[in-house]
Chains A and B, each alone.
Chain A
Amino acid sequence: MSRLQGPSSLKRKRPDSNSPSGSLTEHERILYDVIRSKQDMGIWTRDLKREANLPDNVVAKSLKSLLTKKLIKEVVNIQNKGRKHLMAAEFEPSKEISGGDWYVDGSLDTEFIDFLKDQFVKIIYKQRVATLEGILDVIRRSGILKVEITTQQIQEIVRVLVLDDKVMEVKSNGMGEFDSIPVGKVCFKCTNKAGLKGEPKVGAMASIPCGVCPRISYCTPDGIISPSTCVYYTKWLDF
């Protein structure tokens, strides 16, 4: 990912390093060098001020100029979204800053994730038993995705499907529906209740008001919250 020649070249303020930065003022140059030295980690504006050791108004002015020259960019730091975080334009935010593959502009790309989840369940349902490679193969051949996806990413999505109880992990025993899969290989199957849109079975406790009551710990037979005055019960029994 690093496209940098080396840190030593940064320290010397060579005016001929590249064309747009050639026209920088001295202050802009100092700030730019500090930001660029942080590579794909970027830097928080306050840290930048401390490291550059320049007066606030100068920093503000220079940063504005650097931004308009498109030499630096603002990125969202997933660890602390409120902080203004700067990075040299040629870098892409590291995983620590961006949050990883599934994040776009500092928030989770739920639309994309949900789309993939939906597709994967369909694939697994159709294949009855699917391996990660099998899913990857189907995805590639179908061309439903415009971006490249890795087995690692597929694994992450399938793991969430397992947590959602839509899919379960099974080990191949090489027989029956597993006959094309080597023994011991981890595969995935749709759970019974999943179907395609199924919800897990509602338990005995969860199907009565107390089971889902956020105030159950405050509820006593003769208290302010009590079963005889409970509004959730009244609603539940209103038929």
Chain B
Amino acid sequence: MVTPYGIKFSVHIITSHFGNLVAKVCEKLLTRGPLTLQLLIRFTELNSLQVKNSLLILIQHNCVQAFSAEESGGIANKQTPTQYLVLFDNILHRLRFPKFLEIVAQELDENCAELLEGLLQHGRLTQEQIYERAKSIKSGDCADQSGVQEHFRKLVNDRFIERCPAPEPFIAESTPEETPAKKRGAKATKLVEVKKTLEQRVLEEAAVMEAQRFSIMEDLETDIDAEKSKDSSSIVRLGEKRKGDLLELDGDFSFNNKEVTLWRANFEEFLRCLRHKACVESVRARLDDGAAIVLKALLKATRGAEKKVKMENSVPLSLDSIFEEVMKSEAGRTMTLDRVRASLDQLGCPSSMGIDDSYSIDLKKIIELSQNEEVESIVLNRYGRDGYRVFRLLSKAGHLLETDKISEMTFVEKKDTPKILYKLWQDEYLHMEKMVVNTKQFLLWKVNKSILCEHVLDEMYHAALNLSLRSTHEMEQHKELLNLPAGQCTGPMEKKRLWLRSVRIYLVSSLLKLDDAIMLFHDF
């Protein structure tokens, strides 16, 4: 779901990370769908070099994927123009880098996190560049190549980093509604849909084969070869080289045809971790610690077997294996088999399931409950206790209910109910239908989950943008205070400085928390 405020927020992120020019290119791609270089130049009204450089930056940071598509009825010989597809999700992931680093620091160690940090900072790097960076940071003293290699291997084994996808996949002729070159019509919803299917196709085409995606071996050789033929290891330079041929640049960039393998952070794996974490925390709040421990152990054991992030059910695991996994964790060591079984029961797995005695937890349900909780919390705070009750009734019912019936079932005053319903409807939290029976008009209401989720998500993007803008505003306002050397601050000045510090922490941590909720609706 790419909503209007989603676009504004992601453009804001790009602006603050890479500046206005890059953001302008990014915005055009977000609003208009995939474009060729020529069209981008025309729409952005920037010169060709500016657009090219912006694209290079976006590609380097995995925010844009180039591809070429077969044109419908096109002549076979004609070269198809390269198009650029913006990856909305990857732009938002930029906010989550601290979370990704924390995961690696927890699951592996600080050294691995440091390696990952380099990749997050630079978008894509060769193995050689990663090692170079590690050496320069450690300033030569204890940076032995084998140690860094070991950390690198750990990251790859745990799938936290992967090989970059194909630079320019070729998309075979698609069905008419998916044709990317088609001028995008007025209907925004359709645009999103079309883009989705195309985005998926491009990403699928570009994806590295599963077997190669996390393999290091052959890469080492190529890398050493590459090193010999290379003059410097400047990152941007390398990115330019690589993208040189995609952009069909005319001789400005000398590029080397040698195949180099680039690595990048595997966002998918990080999202999987974050999703699991969200599920476990939700279960802990709703059920108890026991259920959370069991779920955590089960998800940890089956993480490698998950095929996509949005798994509806966890990968089936036998009771014995689950018990074994639970025993491995410190918190689960005191649990008995019966206790584990009871927790699985709480998690919605009756003990007599299937013949092979394997358990699979309904993760989609857990996510849905968390989503409901988030929305209900907004409703409670915005529309009060009565509104909360009315909303929950409709959300649970899942079908149309009449005003008076709602009033009766929720114990809300008959005269207040229509007002509450109307307010909720006006803010797009409810769907309303009119029904006329014998000239008397009845109003029927219901919660339309998918429309509601999109609306809430858009509000969240809006809120995230606001948090970020306010943060910038506060820092702007007190610029001179920030520029003062620490020693010169005394009395009220010092107080103000401390206040500003808390404001910053408050806003940033709120944004991180809000981002968890955004992921809940968008990525999980």
Partners in one complex: yes
B411 pairs with A102, CB closer than 8 A:
yes
Q: Give Cα A201 to B517, complex, Å.
A: 13
Q: Is B470 an interface residue (CB 8 A)?
A: yes
Most chain B CB neighbours (cut-off 10 Å) among A205, A207, A239:
A205
Which residues of chain B (375-393) have a CB below 8 Å from chain A? 375-378, 380-382, 385, 388-389, 392-393
- On chain A, the residues within 8 Å of B506 by CB distance are 237
Which residues of chain A (198-239) have a CB below 8 Å from chain B? 200-208, 210-212, 214, 216-217, 219, 221, 226-228, 230, 233, 237, 239
A200 pairs with B373, CB closer than 8 A:
yes
Q: Give Cα A83 to B380, complex, Å.
A: 34
Given A159-B409, A204-B374, A210 and B463 touching (CB < 8 A)?
yes
B380 pairs with A216, CB closer than 8 A:
no
Q: Is A185 an interface residue (CB 8 A)?
A: no
Q: Give Cα A160 to B385, complex, Å.
A: 11
Q: Is A193 an interface residue (CB 8 A)?
A: yes
Contact of A239 among B287, B411, B502 (CB under 8 A): B502
Q: Give Cα A165 to B377, complex, Å.
A: 11
Q: Is B205 an interface residue (CB 8 A)?
A: no
Q: Is A23 an interface residue (CB 8 A)?
A: no
A201 pairs with B469, CB closer than 8 A:
no
Q: Give Cα A156 to B373, complex, Å.
A: 23
Q: Is A144 an interface residue (CB 8 A)?
A: no
Stretch at the interface among B117-125, B239-247, B508-516: B508-516
The prevalent SS among residues of B at the interface is helix
Cross-chain pair count, CB within 8 angstroms: 125
State how many angstroms separate the Cβ of A172 from the closest Cβ of chain B.
Answer: 13
- On chain A, the residues within 8 Å of B287 by CB distance are 192
Q: Is B286 an interface residue (CB 8 A)?
A: yes
A200 pairs with B380, CB closer than 8 A:
yes
Contact of B378 among A193, A212, A219, A226 (CB under 8 A): A212
Q: Is B196 an interface residue (CB 8 A)?
A: no
Q: Is B460 an interface residue (CB 8 A)?
A: yes
Q: Is A145 an interface residue (CB 8 A)?
A: no
- On chain A, the residues within 8 Å of B503 by CB distance are 237
A216 pairs with B499, CB closer than 8 A:
no
Contact of B411 among A113, A206, A210 (CB under 8 A): A113
Contact of B463 among A102, A108, A216 (CB under 8 A): A216
Contact of A228 among B8, B374, B469 (CB under 8 A): B469
Interface size class of A (residues with CB under 8 A): 35 or more
Residue of A nearest to B463 (CB): A210
The prevalent SS among residues of A at the interface is loop
Most chain A CB neighbours (cut-off 10 Å) among B287, B409, B466, B503:
B466
- On chain A, the residues within 8 Å of B388 by CB distance are 163-164
State how many angstroms separate the Cβ of B320 from the closest Cβ of chain A.
Answer: 21
State how many angstroms separate the Cβ of A128 from the closest Cβ of chain B.
Answer: 13
B285 pairs with A201, CB closer than 8 A:
yes
Contact of B516 among A156, A201, A204, A237 (CB under 8 A): A204
Q: Is B223 an interface residue (CB 8 A)?
A: no
A206 pairs with B378, CB closer than 8 A:
yes
Q: Is A176 an interface residue (CB 8 A)?
A: yes
Q: Give Cα A161 to B505, complex, Å.
A: 38
State how many angstroms separate the Cβ of B202 from the closest Cβ of chain A.
Answer: 31
Q: Is A78 an interface residue (CB 8 A)?
A: yes
Q: Is B45 an interface residue (CB 8 A)?
A: no
What per-residue 1/0 map shows which CB atoms of B410-431 lie under 8 Å from chain A?
Answer: 1111110000000000010000
- On chain B, the residues within 8 Å of A107 by CB distance are 413
Beyond the given A206-B378, A237-B474, please list 4 additional residue pairs across the A-B interface where CB-CB is below 8 A: A108-B413, A200-B377, A203-B378, A216-B463
Q: List 21 A-B contacts (CB under 8 A).
A: A99-B414, A108-B412, A113-B411, A160-B389, A160-B411, A163-B392, A163-B409, A164-B388, A202-B381, A204-B513, A205-B459, A206-B380, A210-B466, A227-B465, A227-B470, A228-B473, A230-B470, A237-B503, A237-B507, A239-B499, A239-B502
